[in-house]
């Protein structure tokens, strides 16, 4: 018997449909808020993330990608963009999983669906932050992680303290952080997302995202989007891996 899972979200975005389209349907745009995903711009075109295929391409209103695995699993990601009267947009997005194979304990269906739903909310928030503060600026994507998984929430609590967060910290708070790999002293950051699973910080030239692996028994990791003109992926990845390893 097939198992299915869906996430549907709607959000108003402070950008034209064309700008939203560039953010969700192009490789350059994805670097600014999501992860590296190059898109061949046509129905039937290839998508580098998950060996996907473009199944809808109607700029700037409808984009969809489908990826399938040999074990009977498929994932369809869909974006529909509607213009608003004031030059902004309304985005309808969704993911749809179908699994026709055997779903056993090794597949961890409940953990994966929980992770998917929570990550969707975090990424969609990052999309709005990108469009509000960095739209159109070239981005460098940095990903780093600890080598081992964890199931201990205390590990992420330590990371939060290293970032300067307190138990009473909240979205909208400001903090100063000596950002690894940068010169010139502490950087002023804004807390733009904060819950047990994720930390989001925004600086003048970056979105810093931290992921709590203990929730799903995977390594703690980070994904940053750097917009400074001198940002470089390899040096930034190296220093952030070292920072994670120093916790």
Beta carbons of 18 and 24 less than 8 angstroms apart: no
Q: Report residue 229 as tokens.
A: 């003109």
pLDDT tens for each residue of the chain, 247 residues long: 679 999 999 999 999 999 999 999 999 999 999 999 999 999 999 999 988 999 999 999 999 999 998 888 999 999 999 999 899 999 999 999 999 877 776 678 899 999 999 999 999 999 999 999 999 999 999 999 999 999 999 999 999 999 999 999 999 999 999 999 888 789 999 999 999 999 999 999 999 999 999 999 999 999 999 999 999 999 999 999 999 988 5
Buried b / exposed e over 89-100, threshold 16 CB at 10 Å, is bebebbbbbebe
According to the model, what pLDDT value does residue 217 have? 93
According to the model, what pLDDT value does residue 184 have? 77
According to the model, what pLDDT value does residue 246 have? 81
According to the model, what pLDDT value does residue 1 have? 63
CB neighbours of 19 closer than 8 A, spacing ≥ 6?
89, 131, 135, 136
Reference 15, options 124, 133, 121; nearest CA is 133
């Amino acid at each position: 018997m097939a198992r299915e899972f869906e996430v549907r979200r709607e959000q108003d975005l402070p950008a034209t449909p064309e700008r939203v389209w560039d953010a969700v349907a192009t490789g350059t745009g994805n670097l600014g808020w999501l992860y590296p995903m190059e898109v061949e711009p046509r129905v039937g075109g290839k998508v580098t993330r998950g060996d996907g295929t473009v199944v809808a391409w109607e700029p700037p209103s409808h984009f969809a990608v489908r990826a399938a695995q040999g074990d009977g699993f498929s994932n369809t990601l869909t974006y529909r963009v509607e213009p608003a009267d004031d030059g902004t947009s309304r985005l309808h997005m969704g993911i749809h999983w179908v699994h026709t194979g055997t779903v056993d304990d090794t597949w961890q269906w409940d953990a994966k669906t929980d992770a998917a739903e929570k990550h969707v909310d975090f990424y969609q928030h990052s999309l709005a932050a990108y469009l509000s503060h960095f739209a159109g600026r070239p981005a460098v994507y940095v990903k780093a992680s600890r080598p081992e998984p964890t199931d201990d929430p205390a590990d992420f609590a330590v990371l939060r303290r290293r970032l300067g967060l307190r138990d009473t910290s909240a979205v909208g708070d400001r903090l100063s952080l000596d950002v690894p790999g940068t010169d010139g002293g502490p950087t002023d950051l804004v807390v733009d997302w904060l819950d047990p699973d994720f930390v989001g910080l925004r600086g003048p030239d970056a979105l810093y995202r931290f992921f709590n692996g203990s929730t799903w028994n995977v390594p703690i990791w980070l994904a940053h989007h750097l917009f400074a003109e001198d940002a470089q992926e390899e040096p930034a990845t190296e220093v952030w891996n070292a920072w994670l390893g120093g916790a």
